[in-house]
Structure 1
Amino acid sequence: MTARTTRWAALCAAVPLALALTGCGGGDDGAKPSAAPPAASSPAPAASASVDPDAAEKTAVIASYEAMTREQMKAYRKADAKGTDLEKYATTEALGQIRNDLANMKSAGTVVRGELGHDAEVTELDMEVQTPTATLSDCVDLSGYETYDVKAKKVIPLPKEQPLRYVMTATAQRWDGRWMVTDIDPQGGAGATC
């Protein structure tokens, strides 16, 4: 991969190979099933006891993040933010990161084709602070993503060692009743795959 790639491609390539890949457990740990019958259990708690009081806020955070990523991909497909609504969903710092990407793409003569998959969840939510803040963990899927060199008319392949799915993080804050993405950290998952 050369310096003539988009930030996404560069960020994807930045996932350190030295980190061990992590995954979900579930393998046989050598434990044998018990021959004893299961003990009687108390009735399950009422469904209302397990309702997340912050579910509506978490849904709003995800909706804002997903809207920002859609607008981001619109900009990356043409290496230009004109005609997008990025300002509705991202603050100055997050917009600065995206604008740097676009400037690098224009300089390199690249655009993005395909889709960058996302599967985000809110991992932290603090509604008690003056400016409510949320942290998101996003499983990014590169399987439908391509960096395309417009001048050479060819796809720039991802490095062979690049996982097609990895974890990144983002931060959002609630401003004037709506959630805004304030930071995007492609290496926030510390190289974890998903």
Structure 2
Amino acid sequence: MLSVYGRYWQEQVKAYAKADTKGTDLRKYATKDALGRSIGDALSLKQAGNIMRGAPRSDADVTSINLDKKIPSAVIKDCLDVSGWETVESKSGKVLPFADDALTRYETIATAEKWGAQWLITKVEPQERGC
């Protein structure tokens, strides 16, 4: 399931690099809130005339798993480092700085569910605390 979480982030990086989820495999790795959030973020980037360059670094662990439910689920805790993932103006190439109070390393809690043979990321919640 951690491999699915990693692929989710790889596909999200691809989407944000062009401010569009079309042509990515996000739907293979995410659904529900996680997919909706990625689509919405890509749309926001596009509307603002921005893209993302670089990639976040992840340090994720499965903190709980429940295989006895009708739909097995798991919780993934991550310390996400976005310091190397820059917002860039599409036309000018100008890097937009992080806000002074922005966390560049923060805890993220993700939920995954097993649909058939495939684990999918269903929710990703950035926390307002560093790690």
- The structural deviation recorded for 1:116 is 1.0
Larger Rg: 1
- The structural deviation recorded for 1:124 is 1.1
* Aligned-residue RMSD, C-alpha: 1.2
After TM superposition, the runs of 4+ consecutive aligned structure 1 residues lying more than 4 A away are none
Per-residue Cα deviation, 1:81-138 (whole angstroms, up to 9, x for no partner): 1221111111133211111111111100000001111111111111111111101111
Q: Within the alignment, does 1:63 sit opposite 2:31 as a pair?
A: no
Amino acid at match of 1:66: G
Who is 2:129 aligned against? 192
Who is 1:4 aligned against? none
Who is 1:138 aligned against? 78
**Counterparts of 2:60 and 2:52, CA distance in 1:** 21
Larger strand percent: 2
- The structural deviation recorded for 1:180 is 0.3
Classify the secondary structure of the residue corresponding to 1:111.
Answer: strand
The size of the alignment, in residue pairs, is: 131
| The one of 59, 74, 81 aligned to 1:119 | 59
Who is 1:53 aligned against? none
Length-normalised TM-score, structure 2:
0.94
Classify the secondary structure of the residue corresponding to 2:130.
Answer: coil
**Counterparts of 2:103 and 2:72, CA distance in 1:** 33
Q: Within the alignment, does 1:83 sit opposite 2:23 as a pair?
A: yes
**Counterparts of 1:162 and 1:99, CA distance in 2:** 22
Same amino acid, percent of matched pairs: 42
